[in-house]
Amino acid sequence: MPLDLPAMIRRSGNRRKAITFRPIKPTKALSDDLARLYMRVVSAWQQIALGRLLDIYAATLAQMTKDSPQDVQGELDLGEETIRRLLVSIFPDLRRWGVVVEEWHRNRFSGAALTATGIDLATVLSPVDVTETVGAVIARNVALIKDVSAEAQGRISDIVFRGITQRTPSRKVAKELREAVAMSRRRSLLIATDQANKLTASLDRARQEEVGIDQFLWRHSGKVHYRPAHKARDGNVYDWAAPPADLPGQLPFCGCRAQAYISFDDGTDSPSA
Ligand SMILES: [Zn+2]
């Protein structure tokens, strides 16, 4: 049965016109944990590219026999298989990360509710209530890790085959491979920060709606690179049923938050014309 927190507050003899919960900001530790999962794939590609693959490349260049490019392809295929097994082992860790974030958020949300209303939701809220919300973000991250891996593989493959065609010295190819890995690393870090933010933003909405909070205050991120349209929304009250075109934390790298807002102002106090 869904909860009606505003009704519970009214019954407790509330005299305030509005109540806001403190916003829930994801910690760096949460995004770092996610980044580490992405990095396992990036590091594995680094080992493949700068290990045996580079040795085979150097040998290919030295001999330039007919079937050497096949050896390079064979090593890339082996690498792909290694990564495929690695991904299978990472996906359960990704789900565990979702479990940790959900628990962290649930504690923050019930803590904010207790501070703002005096009502303890800690034993009322359950992970089961947000299974879909968490599941959707985990599924998205499964796709993103696969994409980061495929992109790294594509870059590595391009570099070595272009190198063979152009007879690029091994040292230069090694440098290009290191740069390709660094690009994947940077992209992974950005994705992890963004995805940790998106999961907590989705949980904000799910928990607020679960306890009958149908409005939120837009809290601007305060980031250096912000969207002017989002800054303009700062402090505005929106209905979850009719929100702006994009929600807080939804667009890429948006750090804005939806702060739970309960209004008890039914208009009876305002002077009539
Ligand atoms: Zn924003």
φ, ψ at 76 (rounded to 5°): -65, -40
> 123: closest CA among 135, 99, 106?
106
pLDDT value at residue 54: 94
Length of the chain: 273
pLDDT value at residue 268: 56
Per-residue pLDDT at 223 exceeds 70: yes
pLDDT value at residue 63: 81
Per-residue pLDDT at 74 exceeds 60: yes
Strands of the sheet containing 215-219, edge to edge, are: 18-20, 257-263, 215-219, 237-239
Taking every pair of Cα atoms in the chain, the longest distance, rounded to a whole number of angstroms, is 94
140: DSSP letter: H
Instruction: Read off the pLDDT band of 270 (50, 70, 90).
Output: very low
From residue 198, how far is each of 39, 96, 156 by CA, in Å?
19, 17, 30
- Residue 249 alpha carbon to ligand 1 centre in Å: 6
Torsion of CA 86, 153, 36, 54, to 10 degrees: 90
- Residue 53 alpha carbon to ligand 1 centre in Å: 43
- Residue 231 alpha carbon to ligand 1 centre in Å: 7
pLDDT digits 0-9 by tens, 179-208: 999 999 999 999 999 999 999 999 999 999
pLDDT digits 0-9 by tens, 98-133: 999 999 999 999 999 999 999 999 999 999 999 999
164 in Cβ contact with 60 (< 8 Å): yes
Instruction: Read off the pLDDT band of 142 (50, 70, 90).
Output: very high
> 236: closest CA among 247, 252, 250, 225?
247
pLDDT value at residue 225: 84
- Reduced to 3 states, what is the DSSP secondary structure of residue 20? strand
pLDDT value at residue 12: 87
- Residue 195 alpha carbon to ligand 1 centre in Å: 14
pLDDT value at residue 168: 95
- Residue 197 alpha carbon to ligand 1 centre in Å: 11
- Residue 214 alpha carbon to ligand 1 centre in Å: 20
Per-residue pLDDT at 1 exceeds 80: no
CB-based contacts of 115: which residues, under 8 Å, 6+ apart? 21, 22
pLDDT value at residue 203: 97
pLDDT digits 0-9 by tens, 19-32: 999 999 999 999 99
- Residue 33 alpha carbon to ligand 1 centre in Å: 23
- Residue 255 alpha carbon to ligand 1 centre in Å: 5
Q: Supply the mean pLDDT for the chain.
A: 92
Measured distance CA(263)–CA(20) in Å, rounded: 9
pLDDT digits 0-9 by tens, 241-258: 999 999 999 999 899 999
Determine the average pLDDT of the residues in 46-67: 86
pLDDT value at residue 273: 37
3 in Cβ contact with 208 (< 8 Å): no
Provide the token pair at 45. Answer: 């590609």
Measured distance CA(29)–CA(176) in Å, rounded: 31
pTM of the entire predicted model = 0.90
- Residue 16 alpha carbon to ligand 1 centre in Å: 29
Residues with CB under 5 A from ligand 1 (ion): 230, 254, 256
From residue 115, how far is each of 19, 112, 119, 120, 165 by CA, in Å?
10, 5, 8, 9, 66
pLDDT digits 0-9 by tens, 229-240: 999 999 999 999
Measured distance CA(273)–CA(269) in Å, rounded: 12
* Least-confidence region, from 9-13, 125-129, 136-140: 9-13
Percent of the chain at pLDDT above 70?
A: 95
- Residue 254 alpha carbon to ligand 1 centre in Å: 4
- Reduced to 3 states, what is the DSSP secondary structure of residue 251? coil
